């Protein structure tokens, strides 16, 4: 039995021992500056309030938006797990309201260069999140770099953030085009939610989605799922300026209410049934080329 087969068996056995593996939601965008990390953080707060232990995996290298918004500097990152013998529990930083987050550090960039022993330790460590958390939100870097595509293509559930700006819509389509070309992506196993941010109305948000859906159907023979909007909101903009989640500083704001509704929708029925039981297994198997 080769080492890759052993790793697959480890993932399978640990998932069998867990009643319900942690759910993976990868938040991504075709360009920076569309509010991706802000959405990841506020969703995490809302999930946590619903009694779902939530951990954000911050794979947005160099920007550290999650730790800035939480006002917490992590002591350890994924680098310490891979290279300095830390346990997965050691590198989880406590954020507001019980939300945890893991800093990717520069380790995300070097996933393709890891040895089999390092991959083995990483897989076994990350798999523990199935027990620690109910939901793991992966906050990717923006754009279509190799490191971003590794996470997006491996994820069973993708939340694609765009705005009404034409350039944002074009970049969202470019990301989807690259995703469909990625050998790790299987459109039959993944669901792509589209969230339109910074819109004036539900009508504007739906119009943005319709444009994206049209080109995806026509040129990619694929499908995307409309999940709604986050409205333009002065309270959200104020929260961003003071580097706090709007769901915490202004829980009654329009945007906070939409984050709450979005979290409830995702939990109650916004995901494909096929990824319910195997989300973590599929994610790790694809991410580390174990299939």
Per-residue pLDDT tens over the stretch 142-201: 666 776 788 888 898 999 999 999 999 999 999 999 999 999 898 888 999 999 999 999
* Architecture of the domain delimited by 20-286: 3-Layer(aba) Sandwich (3.40)
In angstroms, the CA 147 to CA 256 distance is: 31
The reported pLDDT for the residue numbered 276 is 47
Top-confidence residue, 282 or 10: 282
Distances (CA, A) of 203 to 88, 210, 230, 273: 43, 10, 12, 29
Per-residue pLDDT tens over the stretch 253-278: 999 999 999 999 999 865 544 444 45
Provide CB contacts within 8 A for 76, sequence distance 6+: 84, 86, 90, 91, 93, 103
Provide CB contacts within 8 A for 107, sequence distance 6+: 77, 78, 79, 81, 82, 83
> Do the beta carbons of residue 141 and residue 148 sit within 8 Å?
yes
Look at residues 280, 289, 290, 283 and name the one whose alpha carbon lies nearest to residue 128: 280
- Write out the two tokens for 249: 């500083």
Alpha helices in 89-201 (DSSP H): 116-127, 129-132, 146-154, 166-181
Mean pLDDT, residues 234-250 taken together: 93
Interior/surface letters 156-175, b for 16+ CB within 10 angstroms, e for the rest? bbbbbbbbbeeebbebbbeb
Mean pLDDT, residues 199-227 taken together: 96
217: left (phi over 0), alpha (psi -120 to 50) or beta: alpha
What are the residues facing 260 on neighbouring strands? none
Per-residue pLDDT tens over the stretch 70-87: 878 888 888 888 888 889
> Do the beta carbons of residue 229 and residue 202 sit within 8 Å?
yes
Q: Tell me if residue 186 falls in helix, strand or coil.
A: coil
pTM of the model: 0.87
The reported pLDDT for the residue numbered 151 is 82
What is the residue extent of each domain of the chain? 20-286
pLDDT above 50 (res 18) = no
The reported pLDDT for the residue numbered 237 is 92
């Amino acid at each position: 039995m080769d080492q890759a087969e052993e790793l697959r068996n480890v993932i399978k056995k640990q998932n069998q021992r867990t009643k319900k593996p942690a759910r993976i939601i990868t938040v991504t965008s075709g360009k920076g500056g569309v509010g991706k990390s802000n959405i990841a953080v506020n969703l995490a707060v809302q999930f946590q309030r619903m009694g779902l232990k939530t951990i954000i995996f911050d794979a947005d290298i160099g920007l550290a938006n999650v730790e800035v918004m939480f006002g917490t500097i992590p002591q350890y990152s994924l680098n310490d797990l891979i290279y300095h013998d830390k346990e997965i529990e050691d590198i989880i930083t406590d954020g507001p309201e019980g939300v945890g987050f893991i800093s990717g550090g520069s380790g995300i960039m070097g996933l393709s260069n890891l040895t089999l022993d390092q991959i083995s330790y990483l897989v076994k460590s990350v798999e523990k999140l199935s027990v620690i958390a109910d939901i793991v939100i992966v906050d990717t870097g923006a754009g279509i770099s190799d490191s971003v595509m590794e996470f997006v293509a491996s994820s069973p559930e993708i939340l694609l953030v765009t705005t009404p700006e034409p350039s944002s819509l074009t970049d969202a389509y470019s990301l989807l085009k690259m995703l469909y070309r990625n050998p790790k992506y299987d459109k039959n196993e993944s669901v792509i939610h589209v969230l339109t941010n910074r819109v004036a109305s539900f009508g504007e948000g739906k119009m943005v989605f319709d444009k994206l859906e049209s080109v995806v159907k026509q040129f990619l023979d694929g499908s995307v799922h409309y999940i709604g909007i986050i409205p333009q909101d002065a309270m959200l903009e104020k929260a961003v300026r003071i580097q706090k989640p709007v769901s915490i500083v202004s829980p009654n704001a329009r945007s906070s209410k939409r984050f709450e509704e979005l979290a409830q929708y995702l939990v109650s029925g916004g995901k494909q049934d096929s990824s319910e039981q195997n989300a973590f297994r599929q994610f790790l198997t694809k991410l580390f080329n174990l299939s």
